[in-house]
Amino acid sequence: MREVKIVGVGLALDDVYNGGGEVMNGLVHPLDGSIARCNAVLEYVRQKSYVLFRLYLSAGFSKKCPAEAVGARQVSLAKQLYNYFYLQNDDCTGKICIPGYVWGTEPEIVSAIAEARRSFVTRDDKVTLVIATNWAHIPRVLLYSMRHKPIEWKLKLLVAKHHFSLLSTIREAPAFLVELVKSMFI
């Protein structure tokens, strides 16, 4: 029997490091929701003792220009998260992948699935897609995941506890409804 492969998606929220994302500028405090989300995925992997896993980080520099440093942010959100876990001497070093830079929840999920299919999983593998986010964001993440994951893959959504502004929480309901309507016509 083949072991289950875990494809984790690290959904970024904001900068991990001060001053454009450079490690030498120190961590932003309180720690960002991106770290809470990735930690929730990694904790799930550790609790279940999964060996075959990859964590995909693909959040770029900005919405306007995800692939290039523009303005104050000189290090992509994905690279900031990668640096954070590398400096923590985390046991996931070598299992974190940055497939390219995109911006937004749906493109991050799509990018992770595409890269996993290209370089990590085969058609015959048992795969679980694991994504963590805050409770208000879960409906949209569920919708995107179901829209893009292969049918034979399982899905595990985890609630990560982190700060999410009241305004962002309120905006999630209409954003979900817009995406739900869009999915009916796709």
- pLDDT of the chain along its 186 residues, tens only? 578 999 999 999 888 998 888 888 888 877 778 999 999 999 999 998 888 999 999 999 999 999 999 888 899 999 999 999 988 866 777 799 999 999 999 999 999 999 999 999 998 999 999 999 999 999 999 999 999 999 999 999 999 988 777 777 788 888 888 888 988 886
pLDDT at 77: 95
Tell me the one-letter amino acid at 105: T
The pLDDT of residue 1 is 58
**Measured CA distances, 102 to 58, 109, 128, 172, 186 (Å):** 6, 10, 22, 20, 21
